[in-house]
Structure 1
């Protein structure tokens, strides 16, 4: 059995859908905080059990019988996320899982200005010490394109701090790759970079947006402190603005400049391009 956490969320919800195309529903289970939100999965024959990273006993019950467990990284900003991840890993080990997979991020490491990378690195350390075969799915960046780019469709400008190359991946591709690894015969041990090639910059987004719309979209660089002040004035809490700034700073120092063919190989095609994603955003 394959048990997936976070299956009512955006990323692993898509992963479950791709798994259903590859394995029978009775071989799938989900561990979710609120089983009522997973009734659509239960109706399709998937085992649904309650599990939360703050309740080790419930986690162990939700992982029972699993050969593989896919752990999604915690999004609880108020929690000790590394402790949550350790509890989840320990519960999977206690339940007898033969492999533990974890949604990490490319560039995971301790020497970085971007705090999530240290969280992922600490989680990977605990996986390595667990005694169970493990895989870290080091995904490229994905998420809210309007938030990343700002109101470029209205202003004609992508006005953000200076950036460097970073691997922006479509969440749908990350989910499909995870399902391919879970359902495939090949063992992926340790960290696996799941990134499109090559990495991109916001100037690349501006160029793609210009071609898509037929009008010039400018890439304007905003001073770090001026950008933080603008975001705070627009209603963003300053800690959140500085957290977002740290991502741009990490791209500038080359933390995300690597490329890897693994994602394309797992998909059997090239990943969705930034032009594809911009097109989807305009019509979404």
Structure 2
């Protein structure tokens, strides 16, 4: 059996949908905080059990019978995510899982200034010491583009801090590739990088946006502290602004620059490009 956590969330839910296209529903289990929210999966024959990273006993029950467990990383900034991930790994081991897969992040290496990298690096170390086979899916950035590009559609300008190349990746492609790995016979040990095949910069985005909209979109580099001050003036809490600044700092330092072919290989087609994602963002 394949058990997926976070199956009512964006990435986990999409992964389960792709799994249902590849394996019988009876081979799929999900571990969710609220089983009522997964009734649509129960109705299709998926085993639904209550489980959360805060409740190891429930996790063990939800993982029972699993050959593989997909741990979708937590995202609560107020939680001790490393401890919660440790509990989840231990529960999977105790339940007898033969392989644990974890949704990590591209650039999850020591020294990356983006704080979530430390969480992923620590979790990968826990997996490495778990005694069972493990795979860390180092996913490329798939969050909404407006989070990193800013309000360029309104202003006609990408006025953000200095950036660097990033292979912005579509979440749907990431979910499909994750399902391919879970359902397939090919083993992936340790960290693997799943990204769009090409990394782009904000200069590239400005050129792409200009072509898509038919108007000139400028790229303006804003000093880090000025950008933080501008964010605060716009009502963004300083802590939030400084957190986001670390992402730009990591990008400019090259931590997200790697782009590899594995995602394309797993999908059997070319993943959506940055231009595809921007076009969809404009159309939304």
Partner residue in 2 for 1:268:
268
TM-score (norm 2): 0.98
Partner residue in 1 for 2:78:
78
Partner residue in 1 for 2:280:
280
Report the 3-state secondary structure (helix = DSSP H, G, I; strand = E; otherwise coil) of the residue aligned with 1:172.
helix
Partner residue in 2 for 1:41:
41
**Structure 1 stretches of 4+ moved >4 Å:** none
- Deviations along 1:230-279, one digit per CA (max 9) or x if unpaired, are 11111211111111000000111111121211111001111101111112
User: 2: CA distance between counterparts of 1:154 and 1:160?
Assistant: 14
User: 2: CA distance between counterparts of 1:55 and 1:118?
Assistant: 23
Partner residue in 2 for 1:110:
110
Partner residue in 2 for 1:200:
200
Deviation at 1:187, TM superposition (A): 0.3
User: 1: CA distance between counterparts of 2:12 and 2:167?
Assistant: 20
Partner residue in 2 for 1:89:
89
User: 1: CA distance between counterparts of 2:248 and 2:116?
Assistant: 13
Partner residue in 2 for 1:211:
211
Partner residue in 1 for 2:163:
163
Total equivalences in the alignment: 284
Partner residue in 2 for 1:122:
122
User: 1: CA distance between counterparts of 2:14 and 2:147?
Assistant: 21
- Deviations along 1:193-226, one digit per CA (max 9) or x if unpaired, are 0011221111111111111111111111111001
User: 1: CA distance between counterparts of 2:269 and 2:210?
Assistant: 25
User: 1: CA distance between counterparts of 2:212 and 2:15?
Assistant: 29
Partner residue in 2 for 1:135:
135
- Deviations along 1:54-98, one digit per CA (max 9) or x if unpaired, are 110010001001110000010111110000100000000000001
Partner residue in 2 for 1:230:
230
- Aligned: 1:98 with 2:98: yes
Report the 3-state secondary structure (helix = DSSP H, G, I; strand = E; otherwise coil) of the residue aligned with 2:74.
coil
Partner residue in 1 for 2:250:
250
User: 2: CA distance between counterparts of 1:204 and 1:21?
Assistant: 36
Deviation at 1:192, TM superposition (A): 0.5
User: 1: CA distance between counterparts of 2:235 and 2:62?
Assistant: 40
Report the 3-state secondary structure (helix = DSSP H, G, I; strand = E; otherwise coil) of the residue aligned with 1:192.
strand
Deviation at 1:38, TM superposition (A): 0.8
User: 2: CA distance between counterparts of 1:39 and 1:75?
Assistant: 24
Report the 3-state secondary structure (helix = DSSP H, G, I; strand = E; otherwise coil) of the residue aligned with 1:57.
helix
C-alpha RMSD of the superposition: 0.9
- Aligned: 1:220 with 2:220: yes
User: 2: CA distance between counterparts of 1:231 and 1:20?
Assistant: 43
Gaps of 5+ in 2: none
Gaps of 5+ in 1: none
Deviation at 1:283, TM superposition (A): 2.2
Partner residue in 2 for 1:16:
16
